[in-house]
C-alpha cells in the first residue's frame, strides 16, 4: 500500500471522535490490506512499529525531529521551535513548512508504507555512540521524499504520538468486523499473543481458534481486583476460596521449552539474563520439559533469610553488568502460584484447584530458592481473616483470594482473583503535566500532575512534588526531568504538557473530593514512592479504584 493511501485513512480517523465510525474506517482499511502488510498497518494505526509485547521504543526526541525538519525545509531550528510552541504539534509544523517549500516542486515518487515502517523501526534498532546523526539523516531522507500530509503522520509516528485516537478496543472491534470474527475470540487471541498484528493475520485466514499459548512467547497475566475485606472476597468468589500469601516481589512468567528457559516480566520484557539464579532454580526444582508458570520473585535478606520489600531487588530488573554479583547480594526466592501450560498442553481452561495440583506434583520445594505460595482453602470468614493477619506478620502485603474453580484469564481484571491489603493502596498514576521548579531547582521539572484512567481517557487527581531527591541514588528531580523532557507536547511558561507515558506510584494519607481536578478527587499529602516501569499504561489505577478507596476509607473498614 502506498503511504499516501494510509494517510487518507489517518485523516478520516482524525476527523471523527466516534468509536463506531473509527471502527468502520479501520475495518475497511484492514480488508483492503494484503496479508503480508496487514501486521505493519495494524501497528502503524496504533501509532507504533512494534507489537505490544515488544517493549522497544522508537526513542527519538522532539529536539532531534526539530533538527531533521530544519535540514529538510531549510528553516532554522529556532524558527521551527517557535512555530512548534505556537501550534503545539510538530506534525502540523512539518506539514506547514513542507507545504510552503513544495508548492512548486511536485513529488513524482510514491512513498511505500513498508519503506516508512522499516525506516522508523531502524531508528529504534540503531543504538550507541555516533548513531544520532545517522538517525537524523534517515528521518530527513524520509521527510524529503514525502508530501506535506505524509510528513505530518511520519513525524507523529516517530514521536510516538499519532493522535488519531485508536485504542486497543477499537483495533479489536475493527479486526472482528473486517474478518467477521467473534470479538471475544479476537480479544482472547490478543491476550495470548499480545500482538494485534498477528491476530489480524490469523483472523484474515480464519485461524483464530488455532492459536494457543506456547512456551517462549510471553502472554498477558491474570490480574486481580482490589477488595476491602474477607467478606467481600466471599461475595465475589463463591462459598469456598483459596487464599494465598500475597508476596511483595515482582511477577515473573517462567517459560521452559526443553533446554531453553526464559523469564518475562508482567510487561513482557525479557529478564532471563538478569536472573541466572532463577533459571538454575527452575532447572533444579521444577519437573517437566515444557511449561509456563506464573510466579513472584521475592527478595531475601542474606543474613536472616527474611523477606524484603520489592524496592530492595528492583535494581536487578534493569541491570546489565555484574549480574552474578547482584544475584549474590540480592538473592530472590521464586514463589510459584500458577501454571498455564504443562507437557504440550495449555491448562488455562482448567479450574485453579486442578492447576494447583499439577504444581504440587511437579515442584520440589526448597526454602530460599523455590516454593509454592502458602495457601489456605476455606469457607469461613474468620479463618481467612486469621490467615490474613498471619501473612502480614510474616512480612507480606496481605492475601490474594482466588476462586477455586476459576480458569486462567490473561490480561483482565476479573473476579477470579481479588487482593486484600490493609494499607491504603498506593495509586499507580500517569504524569500528564509538569511544572518547572524555581531557585536552585530551576531547570528541573519538580511538580507533576497525575491522572488515573477512565476507559480511554485520563482524569487528573492533583499534583505531587515530594518524594523525589535533590541528588544521589534513587529517583531524583534530574532523572525525572530527563525522562519527561522527550515527552513534552506543549510548553506554557513554567507549565509543560507531556505525553502520558511515565507512571509513578503515589502514596497519600487520604483521598478527598475536589472541584479542581477532572476526576473529582485529590490526594492529601501525596508523595512519589517509585517509578512503575513494569506496568503498562492500561493497567494504571482507574477512577473506579479511586472511588472504591474513597468509600472504603469513609467506612473505615480497614482490617
Shortest CB 251 distance to ligand ATP, Å: 3
Shortest CB 534 distance to ligand ATP, Å: 8
What CA–CA distance (Å, rounded) separates 409 from 527? 33
What CA–CA distance (Å, rounded) separates 13 from 336? 45
Nearest to 484 by CA among 519, 507, 457, 450: 450
Shortest CB 246 distance to ligand ATP, Å: 4
* Closer CB to ligand ATP, 160 or 428, in the complex: 428
Using DSSP's 3-state secondary structure scheme, residue 340 falls into: strand
Q: Identify any residues that bridge with 370 across adjacent strands, giving them in sequence order.
A: 334, 366
Q: Is 545 in the site for ligand ATP (CB under 6 A)?
A: no
Shortest CB 535 distance to ligand ATP, Å: 6
What CA–CA distance (Å, rounded) separates 260 from 279? 10
Pairs from 258-265 (Cβ < 8 Å, separation ≥ 24): 258/289, 258/290, 260/216, 262/216, 264/218, 265/317, 265/534
What CA–CA distance (Å, rounded) separates 449 from 429? 9
Pairs from 278-281 (Cβ < 8 Å, separation ≥ 24): 278/252, 278/254, 278/332, 278/334, 281/334, 281/366, 281/369, 281/370
Q: Is 223 in the site for ligand ATP (CB under 6 A)?
A: yes
Q: Is 373 in the site for ligand ATP (CB under 6 A)?
A: yes
Shortest CB 257 distance to ligand ATP, Å: 23
What mask, x for binding ligand ATP by CB under 6 A, covers residues 313 to 352?
------------------------x---------------
Active-site choice (67, 177, 201, 246): 246
Q: Is 449 in the site for ligand ATP (CB under 6 A)?
A: no
What CA–CA distance (Å, rounded) separates 480 from 487? 11
Would you state the cell numbers that stand for residue 44, as one nine-digit string?
502503524
Q: Is 307 in the site for ligand ATP (CB under 6 A)?
A: no
Cα separation values, 80 from 71, 150, 353, 491, 493, Å: 11, 18, 62, 14, 18
* Closer CB to ligand ATP, 310 or 521, in the complex: 310
Q: Is 295 in the site for ligand ATP (CB under 6 A)?
A: no
Shortest CB 185 distance to ligand ATP, Å: 25
Nearest to 244 by CA among 415, 393, 335, 373: 373
Of 231-239, 243-251, 282-290, 464-472: span binding ligand ATP (CB under 6 A): 243-251
Q: Is 48 in the site for ligand ATP (CB under 6 A)?
A: no
Of 41-49, 239-247, 349-357, 467-475: span binding ligand ATP (CB under 6 A): 239-247
* Closer CB to ligand ATP, 41 or 293, in the complex: 293
Contact set for ligand ATP, span 106-145 (CB under 6 A): none
Of 17-25, 59-67, 133-141, 246-254: span binding ligand ATP (CB under 6 A): 246-254
Catalytic residue list contains 440: no
Query: Which residue is nearest to ligand ATP, using beta carbons?
Result: 251
Q: Is 269 in the site for ligand ATP (CB under 6 A)?
A: no
8 A C-beta contact, residue 249 and residue 396: no
Instruction: Just list the catalytic residues.
Output: 246
Residues that bind ligand ATP in the complex, under the rule CB under 6 A: 223-224, 244-247, 251, 296, 337, 373, 400, 419, 428, 539
Amino acid at each position: 500500500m502506498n503511504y499516501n493511501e494510509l494517510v487518507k485513512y489517518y485523516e478520516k480517523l482524525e476527523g471523527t471522535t466516534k468509536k463506531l465510525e473509527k471502527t468502520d474506517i479501520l475495518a475497511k482499511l484492514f480488508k483492503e490490506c494484503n496479508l503480508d502488510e496487514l501486521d505493519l498497518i495494524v501497528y502503524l494505526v496504533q501509532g507504533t512499529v512494534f507489537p505490544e509485547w515488544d517493549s522497544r521504543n522508537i526513542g527519538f526526541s522532539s529536539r532531534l525531529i526539530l533538527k531533521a525538519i530544519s535540514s529538510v525545509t531549510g528553516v532554522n531550528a529556532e524558527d521551527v521551535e517557535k512555530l512548534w510552541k505556537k501550534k503545539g504539534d510538530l506534525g502540523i509544523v512539518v506539514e506547514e513548512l513542507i507545504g510552503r517549500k513544495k508548492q512548486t516542486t511536485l513529488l513524482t515518487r510514491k512513498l511505500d508504507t513498508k519503506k516508512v515502517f522499516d525506516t522508523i523501526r531502524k531508528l529504534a534498532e540503531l543504538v550507541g555512540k555516533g548513531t544520532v546523526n545517522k538517525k537524523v539523516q534517515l528521518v530527513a531522507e524520509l521527510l524529503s521524499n514525502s508530501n506535506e500530509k505524509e510528513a505530518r503522520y511520519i513525524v507523529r509516528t516517530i514521536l510516538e504520538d499519532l493522535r488519531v485516537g485508536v485504542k486497543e478496543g477499537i483495533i479489536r472491534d475493527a479486526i472482528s468486523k473486517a474478518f467477521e470474527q467473534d470479538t471475544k475470540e479476537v480479544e482472547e487471541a490478543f491476550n495470548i499473543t499480545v500482538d494485534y498484528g498477528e491476530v489480524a493475520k490469523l483472523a484474515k485466514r480464519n485461524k483464530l481458534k488455532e492459536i494457543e499459548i506456547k512456551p517462549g512467547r510471553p502472554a498477558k497475566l491474570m490480574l486481580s481486583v482490589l477488595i476491602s475485606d474477607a467478606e467481600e472476597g466471599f461475595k465475589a468468589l463463591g462459598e469456598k476460596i483459596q487464599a494465598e500469601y500475597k508476596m511483595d516481589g515482582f511477577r515473573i512468567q517462567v517459560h521452559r521449552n526443553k533446554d531453553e528457559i526464559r523469564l518475562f516480566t508482567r510487561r513482557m520484557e525479557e529478564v532471563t539474563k538478569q536472573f541466572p539464579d532463577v533459571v538454575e532454580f527452575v532447572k533444579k526444582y521444577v519437573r517437566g520439559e515444557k511449561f509456563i508458570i506464573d510466579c513472584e520473585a521475592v527478595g531475601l535478606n542474606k543474613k536472616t533469610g527474611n523477606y524484603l520489600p520489592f524496592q530492595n531487588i528492583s535494581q536487578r530488573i534493569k541491570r546489565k553488568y555484574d549480574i552474578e554479583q547482584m544475584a549474590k547480594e540480592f538473592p530472590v526466592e521464586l514463589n510459584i502460584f500458577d501454571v498455564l501450560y504443562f507437557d504440550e498442553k495449555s491448562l488455562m481452561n482448567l479450574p485453579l484447584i486442578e492447576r494447583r495440583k499439577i504444581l504440587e506434583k511437579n515442584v520440589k520445594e526448597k526454602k530460599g530458592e523455590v516454593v509454592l505460595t502458602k495457601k489456605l482453602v476455606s469457607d469461613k470468614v474468620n479463618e481467612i481473616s486469621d490467615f490474613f493477619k498471619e501473612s502480614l506478620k510474616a512480612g507480606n502485603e496481605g492475601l490474594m483470594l482466588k476462586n477455586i474453580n476459576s480458569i486462567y484469564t490473561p490480561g483482565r481484571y476479573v473476579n477470579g482473583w481479588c487482593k486484600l491489603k490493609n494499607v491504603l493502596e498506593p495509586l499507580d498514576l500517569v504524569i500528564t503535566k509538569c511544572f518547572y521548579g524555581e531557585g536552585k531547582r530551576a531547570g528541573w521539572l519538580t511538580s507533576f500532575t497525575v491522572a488515573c484512567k477512565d476507559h480511554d481517557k485520563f482524569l487528573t487527581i492533583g499534583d505531587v512534588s515530594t518524594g523525589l531527591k535533590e541528588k544521589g541514588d534513587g529517583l531524583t528531580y534530574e532523572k525525572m526531568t530527563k525522562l519527561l523532557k522527550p515527552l513534552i507536547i506543549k510548553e506554557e511558561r513554567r507549565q509543560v504538557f507531556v505525553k502520558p507515558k511515565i507512571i509513578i506510584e503515589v502514596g497519600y494519607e487520604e483521598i478527598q473530593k475536589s472541584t479542581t481536578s477532572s476526576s473529582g478527587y485529590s490526594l492529601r499529602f501525596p508523595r512519589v514512592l517509585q517509578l512503575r516501569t513494569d506496568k503498562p499504561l492500561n493497567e494504571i489505577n482507574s477512577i473506579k479504584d479511586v472511588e472504591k478507596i474513597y468509600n472504603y476509607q469513609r467506612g473505615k473498614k480497614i482490617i
